[in-house]
Amino acid sequence: MNKQVVASPLAPKAIGPYSQAIIAGNTIYVSGQIPVDASTGAFVPGGIKEQLIQIFKNLKYILNEAGYDFKDVAKTTVYLKDMNDFALLNEIYAQYFEEPYPARVAFQVAALPKGALAEIDVIAVK
């Protein structure tokens, strides 16, 4: 199977040996996104709310670069530094997804890259 690399200049570059996303067949696998603003190379100012919004912007940039959108997302994985942010996650998440919602797993982790408060990856299918 051929794999196609996807890289959006609007989203932050990978901080390790991985791609922003890979398309295999009709499926795109988007690597975990943290709240880095590609125009500054730094985290967006603010707290968890601002970080989640930036993460969704980064996901959108990558999906759109490949011709996908949030409506194509079948599965998400959400990593939270603090599970007490779960209700806020749901509030912001609902602004990007509509029914039928993608399958999802969300859990608290001990630490995330660069001290992020959240990270999200998605799988979308056309």
Show the DSSP H helices in the chain as ranges.
48-65, 86-93
55: helix, strand or coil: helix
Tally of domains in the chain:
1
Q: What is the mean pLDDT of the chain?
A: 97
Residue 119 has pLDDT above 80, yes or no: yes
pLDDT tens per residue, range 84-99? 999 999 999 999 999 9
The CATH number covering residue 19 comes to 3.30.1330.40
Angle at 71 (CA atoms; ends 77, 15), nearest 5 degrees: 45
pLDDT score for 1: 75
Q: Which tens digits make up the pLDDT trace of 41-78?
A: 999 999 999 999 999 999 999 999 999 999 999 999 99
Residue ranges making up the domain that contains 83: 3-125
pLDDT at 13: 92
The pTM of the full predicted model, rounded to 2 decimals, is 0.96
CA torsion sign for 51, 55, 61, 67 is negative
